[in-house]
């Protein structure tokens, strides 16, 4: 048995099946989009709490975030993914996405 090099370890954990490449790529893209969506949502909540936004701005931001959430769910369904699958496990650091939103 030969020692596993970092490159071999990485290859062992990566899926290289051509049939799953599109789904895996979409999973990565949706994970990044979901992270950005959650950051935008937290920023919007903070700005509302601070009173930085006018009522029409609050409505537009709320509608935009709701539409983005719906699109995320549609894309997850199309690629047979769940929102939980987008949350990457970072080992001792915990998960990438907060679970409280």
The pLDDT of residue 16? 63
Q: Judge if 60 and 72 occupy the same domain.
A: yes
> Structural domain of residue 37, as residue ranges?
20-52
The alpha carbons of the chain give a radius of gyration, in whole angstroms, of: 18
Q: Judge if 46 and 58 occupy the same domain.
A: no
- Residue 95 included in any domain: no
Instruction: Say how far apart CA 31 and CA 42 lie, in whole Å.
Output: 17
| Tens-place pLDDT, residues 5-16 | 555 554 445 556
91 pLDDT band (50/70/90 cuts)? Answer: confident
* End-to-end C-alpha distance for the chain, whole angstroms: 46
Contact 68, 58 (CB under 8 A): no
* pLDDT, the chain, mean: 81
Q: Whole-model pTM above 0.85?
A: no
Q: Judge if 58 and 37 occupy the same domain.
A: no
The pLDDT of residue 56? 94
Count of domains observed in the chain = 2
Q: Widest CA span of the chain, in angstroms?
A: 66
Cα 40 to its chain centre, rounded Å, is: 12
- SS3 at position 90: coil
């Amino acid at each position: 048995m030969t020692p596993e090099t970092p490159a071999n370890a990485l290859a062992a954990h990566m899926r290289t099946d051509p049939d799953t490449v599109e789904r895996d790529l979409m999973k990565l893209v949706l994970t990044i989009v979901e992270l950005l969506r959650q950051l935008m949502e937290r920023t919007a909540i903070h700005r509302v709490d601070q009173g930085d936004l006018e009522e029409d701005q609050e409505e537009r931001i709320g509608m935009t975030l709701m539409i983005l959430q719906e699109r995320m769910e549609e894309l997850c369904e199309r690629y047979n993914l769940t929102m939980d699958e987008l949350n990457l496990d970072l080992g001792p650091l915990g998960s990438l996405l907060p679970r409280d939103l």
